[in-house]
Amino acid sequence: MTGSEELIRQARSTAEGGLPKSPRRNAAVIACIDARVRPELILGGEPGDYHVIRNGGGLVTDDALRSLMVSQHHGTNQIIVMMHTDCAAMAYPATVEKARIEAETGERITFDVHDFTDLETELRRGVELLRTTPLLPNRDRVRGTIFDVDTQRLTTVID
C-alpha cells in the first residue's frame, strides 16, 4: 500500500461541520507546502478561524493572489505570509529545471517558476506586492513572518 493510499484509508470525519465559510478571525495565511510547517499548529486557533493558502516556498504567486481574491471576497482582511528556514523551494533550481523539462518534453511552461535565493528578500518582495496590488481590496494589514524549523519559533520580520 502506498503512502497516499494509507492516508485515504485512515481518513476520518473531523466532526467539525457547521463551520463558517468566512473565517472567524478574518485572516488568510500563505505558507509553504513543507510538511514541517503546519500553520494551524504554529498559529493555533480553531478550525474555521482563517484560510491557509499553500505553495512551494510560501510565495506570493499569481495563484496565491487568485486565492486571496477569493478569500477576501469571503471576508478576510488580514494576511500573514509565512516562509521558513531550510526551505526546499529556495534550493530548487527552478529556472534550470524549467529549461530541462521544456527541452525533454517539448512542452512550454507558461507560468512563472519563481527562483529565489534569499528568504528575507523574497519575503519582503511578497509583502510589498500584497501591500500595493490593486487586485486586493484589503492590503493594509499584511505581515511577513519566518518560521524556524529547528527552534520551532515564528518571527515577525515585517509588521
127 interacts with Zn ion by CB under 5 A: no
Find the shortest distance in angstroms from Cβ 33 to Zn ion: 7
Nearer to Zn ion, 26 or 145 (CB): 145
- Site map 20..39 versus Zn ion, x via CB under 5 A: ------------x-x-----
Gap between the Cα atoms of 131 and 51, Å rounded: 18
Gap between the Cα atoms of 24 and 49, Å rounded: 5
Nearest CA to 81 among 48, 127, 40?
127
Pairing of strands 142-148, 50-55: unpaired
60 interacts with Zn ion by CB under 5 A: no
Find the shortest distance in angstroms from Cβ 122 to Zn ion: 11
Find the shortest distance in angstroms from Cβ 5 to Zn ion: 25
The four Cα atoms 128, 111, 101, 99 give a dihedral, to 10 degrees, of -60
Map the footprint of Zn ion across residues 67-96, applying CB under 5 A. 87, 89
Residue 105 is given by DSSP the state: H
Nearer to Zn ion, 53 or 89 (CB): 89
Find the shortest distance in angstroms from Cβ 121 to Zn ion: 15
Letter for the amino acid at 152? Answer: Q
Query: Which three cell numbers, joined as nine digits, stand for 113?
Result: 517558476
Return residues touching Zn ion (CB under 5 A): 32, 34, 87, 89
